[in-house]
Amino acid sequence: MTEPVFQWLEHPGEDRASRVEELGRLGFAWADLEDEEYWLDGVAVMREDTYRELEEASSRLWAILDKTARYIHRRHDLYALLAIPEVLWEMLDSAPLAPPGLISRYARFDFAIDETGSIKLLELNADTPTGYVEASIATPWICAQAGIPTVNGRMPELVAAAWGEERPDTAACVNYGSHLEDSGTIEALVRHSGLAIQCVDCLELTIEDGTVRDGQGRVIHRMFALYPKEWMAVDEGGDALAYAVETGQLTLFNPPHSILLQSKGLMAAVWGMYELGFLFSEEERETIAKYILPTYNKPVFSGNFVSKSMFGREGGSVRMYDESGSLELEDEDGFDSSVLFPSVYQKRAELARIHTSEGELHLLTGMFMINGRPCGLLGRGGGLITGNTSHFIAMGVRAIAQE
């Protein structure tokens, strides 16, 4: 008998408070948010063969998306198709491209894995992925407590390698010190980097003639920012930040070109080139056919599809349509960025389901790509749309039982 792709092992809840306290000491301080259980105490255990395929698929897809982004670079007609804001075009054209596979050194794939083990790529967050603390700190601890092997152990080592190359002097997020998740994320990344890096609030930055300073007046030369680059098009001071990068006075990490990977329009570009028989080798075409969902810039499907903003995050802007083409469900919690950016249209994919103390949840599988390597699982459980009200689910990997 074939083992299920995922097995949910729930921890008895009588000592949850002490476990939440311990996770807080480790750096995961938002296991409970406003009396809600963001973290579900248990482990979703993935079959080893599914994980090995996922790991290989991630490496192949990473190379394909990297190749596509390099083709798009400096082609303004394609920038427009990807909804890249024009204020960034000069920055993208003038900045040197990173070596192959390193356009983004800190990214996360989101995959749909169904009950049969079929793997489909939903999207890539190549600019500002969160969930790092959950994956690199909380998951190994939870798996160890449950006696389940983890594949996330190399994440800090790879962060140290990536940041050792980029060597930022500053890490920034919005509302540093008060936004628990974003603050905790940059603090963990700084700690794992092993470098002396100052954490600051994006809202306290000032920019004058391309010189960026923090709230204490310190000049910033190299900055990791948990700040979506597309917001430079709508935020006050966004054009000044772009100018600072264009003139070489500020180096951003992830690099500017990570926005080419971030746009969900890149998936449509890959699929369009696949259908045209263009750019990709036969091996790459086989990978695209197997793991990438048909994605378009226009609603060409008659039904059973999803629409989402090219720069939607945390489920915001996602709308699901049933087989008849009627709207079935839309996210009402996250910010709907489709009011600012155009949408893509993607064939729907099924998610495996787990039965938890919170009821039946659809399980989304994240795979971190750090310094170009697949290295860490992040599980999130929720409804058909995985939004910002979903639960964090630790993921481990178990060998297939021998017959």
Report the distance separating Cα 230 and Cα 201, nearest Å: 18
Is 63 within the bounds of a domain? Answer: yes
Please give the residue that has the higher pLDDT: either 147 or 357. Answer: 147
**% of the chain residues with pLDDT over 90:** 82
Is 74 within the bounds of a domain? Answer: yes
Note the pLDDT of residue 402: 37
Mean of the pLDDT values across residues 51-56? 98
CB 221 within 8 A of CB 213: no
Mean of the pLDDT values across residues 290-313? 91
Is 125 within the bounds of a domain? Answer: yes
Mean of the pLDDT values across residues 323-338? 77
**% of the chain residues with pLDDT over 70:** 96
Global pTM value: 0.95
Is 303 within the bounds of a domain? Answer: no
Note the pLDDT of residue 314: 65
Is 365 within the bounds of a domain? Answer: yes
Report the distance separating Cα 354 and Cα 360, nearest Å: 6
Number of domains in the chain: 1
Q: Is 393 exposed, middle or buried (0-12, 13-18, 19+ CB in 10 A)?
A: buried
* Least confident stretch, 138-142, 229-233, 331-335: 331-335
Give the domain extent around 167: 6-263+352-398
Instruction: Tell me the pairing of strands 32-33 and 373-382.
Output: unpaired
Note the pLDDT of residue 340: 81
Contacts of 123 (CB under 8 A, 6+ apart): 109, 110, 264, 267, 308
Is 84 within the bounds of a domain? Answer: yes
CB 349 within 8 A of CB 327: no
334: pLDDT confidence band, cut at 50, 70 and 90?
A: low
Report the distance separating Cα 308 and Cα 311, nearest Å: 8
Is 312 within the bounds of a domain? Answer: no
Residue 238 reports pLDDT greater than 50: yes
Is 325 within the bounds of a domain? Answer: no
Residue 403 reports pLDDT greater than 90: no
